[in-house]
Amino acid sequence: MLLAVATAALLPAEQAVAQSGWLPTSWFSSGEIDANAMFPLAENDGPWLVLASTFRGENAREDARDLVHELRSRYKLQAYTLEKSFDYTGEQAGLGFNPDGTPKRMRYANAAEVTEVAVLVGDFSSYDDPRGQKMLTKVKSLRPETLTSGKAKSRAFSDFRRMIGMDNSNAKGPMHMAFVIPNPLLPEEFFSRPEVDDFVLEMNSGVENSLLDCQGRYSVRVALFTGAGTFDQKAIEQGDDVEFESRLVEAAETAHRLTESLRRRGFQAWEFHDRESSMVCVGSFQQLTVPSADGRQVIHPEITKVVEKLGADPEKLAQGQIMPRSIDGVLLEIQPKPVDVPRMPANRRRR
């Protein structure tokens, strides 16, 4: 059911790490948990989470809500619910054809409309995020009262208890079958960003602070340097002498110098080079917006900080003076903007 659908498709840090892409708990209200809150999963959660448990049937919502509340209040975990309904009352296409040539139609033996609610934990950057794997181990070992005291009444959990032998005192925890999944609400393209090709990968080999090493989904571009032309890849592959455009080489050198200058000033700076330009980015973020205390979506505070510190002076802009900031004589963009972090080819490592 929902488990299969999810398959196909933060832990709050104790201290805020600047420009880390993770959300310090101090940005949110610390009030008591609303007894009726379901904490529904949203697109900006994740993008990877631990699927802790699922509930099905008449009491699914209540059981899921109880578990989420316990995970949040007792274990201090960032937990969510995801609800999905399945309609098994209509006809379905069968295998084969009737004697008159029409397609066979079938009905489910137990026709019903079923609601399933999943409980998910965490906000992690990738499937193999170390924090996600650590959380997975922790969730598997937990024994929340919601699942061990007999309070849960939904059919799915009752079946699950019998399947794993919960009456045995040596049985594993009720969530020992948890696993990591992608956020089912995110579009497929989120997980299929274009990969850099081998030639561009080679151009960035040996770069100490390459954007290819950034673990976030997004970064903020603060400078872009373009060359006078492009590399002739075909000529390079044939071994012919190629005279690289001097401006393109200069662009790469300037980007490298700026990256080092920003790093010395405490910014998490990255550089990236392709056939036509070099750019410098700052920060590592999994999402562009975050929920505010009143529930509205606002620009990620760390992105705002980068723009304010490295973008043009807003007071001068208001006066009509377009004057970009500069670092060690290198001009930055007037309006830094978020960009997708380029993705490494699968099963490849930068040299």
The C-alpha atoms of residue 145 and residue 141 are separated, in whole angstroms, by 13
pLDDT over threshold 60, residue 64: yes
Both tokens of residue 115? Answer: 């609601």
pLDDT over threshold 50, residue 18: no
Higher pLDDT, 149 or 209: 209
Phi, psi (deg, nearest 5) at residue 66: -60, -40
Q: Are 96 and 84 in contact (CB under 8 A)?
A: no
pLDDT computed for residue 293 by the predictor? 81
pLDDT computed for residue 15 by the predictor? 30
pLDDT over threshold 90, residue 170: no
Q: How confident is the model at residue 345 (pLDDT cuts 50, 70, 90)?
A: low
Q: How confident is the model at residue 257 (pLDDT cuts 50, 70, 90)?
A: very high
pLDDT computed for residue 162 by the predictor? 58
* Residue 43, helix vs strand vs coil: coil
The C-alpha atoms of residue 131 and residue 262 are separated, in whole angstroms, by 28
Q: How confident is the model at residue 23 (pLDDT cuts 50, 70, 90)?
A: very low
Strand bridging mode 48-56 / 337-340 = unpaired
Q: Which of 12-16, 196-200, 276-280 has the lowest mean pLDDT?
A: 12-16
pLDDT over threshold 50, residue 136: yes
The mean pLDDT value for 33-57 works out to: 86
Q: Where are the domains of the chain?
A: 2-188, 193-340
The C-alpha atoms of residue 270 and residue 331 are separated, in whole angstroms, by 16
**202: DSSP letter:** H
At a CB cut-off of 8 Å and minimum separation 6, what does 234 contact? Answer: none
DSSP per residue over 6-22, as a string?
HHH--PPPSS--TTSSS
Q: What is the mean pLDDT of the chain?
A: 78
What is the SS3 string spanning 157-184?
HHHHHHHHCCCCCCCCCCCCCCEEEECC
Q: How confident is the model at residue 55 (pLDDT cuts 50, 70, 90)?
A: very high
Query: What digits encode the pLDDT tens for the residues 200-231?
Result: 998 998 899 999 999 888 899 999 998 654 44
Q: Are 97 and 87 in contact (CB under 8 A)?
A: no
pLDDT computed for residue 89 by the predictor? 64
pLDDT over threshold 70, residue 83: yes
| Polymer length in residues for the chain | 351
Query: What digits encode the pLDDT tens for the residues 102-125?
Result: 887 766 566 566 789 999 998 887
pLDDT over threshold 50, residue 27: no
Both tokens of residue 170? Answer: 């040596």
Query: What digits encode the pLDDT tens for the residues 291-339?
Result: 888 777 888 999 999 999 999 877 776 677 778 899 999 999 998 999 9
Q: How many CB atoms lie within 10 A of CB 111?
A: 11
DSSP per residue over 181-246, as a string?
EE-TTS-GGGG-PPBP-HHHHHHTTT-TTBGGG--SSEEEEEEEEE-SS---HHHHHTT------H
The C-alpha atoms of residue 171 and residue 284 are separated, in whole angstroms, by 41
Q: Which of 124-128, 180-184, 259-263 has the lowest mean pLDDT?
A: 124-128
Higher pLDDT, 239 or 279: 279
Both tokens of residue 257? Answer: 């110098």
pLDDT computed for residue 135 by the predictor? 94
- What percent of the chain lies above the pLDDT cut of 70? 72
Both tokens of residue 332? Answer: 């930055």
pLDDT computed for residue 16 by the predictor? 30
At a CB cut-off of 8 Å and minimum separation 6, what does 112 contact? Answer: 88, 89
Q: How confident is the model at residue 239 (pLDDT cuts 50, 70, 90)?
A: very low
The C-alpha atoms of residue 200 and residue 344 are separated, in whole angstroms, by 10
Higher pLDDT, 78 or 236: 78
Query: What digits encode the pLDDT tens for the residues 177-187?
Result: 999 999 998 87
- What percent of the chain lies above the pLDDT cut of 90? 38
Give the largest Cα separation in the chain, rounded: 83
pLDDT computed for residue 9 by the predictor? 38
Query: What separation in angstroms does the CA of 21 have from each of 101, 123, 180, 280?
Result: 59, 11, 20, 17
Q: How confident is the model at residue 173 (pLDDT cuts 50, 70, 90)?
A: confident
pLDDT computed for residue 81 by the predictor? 96
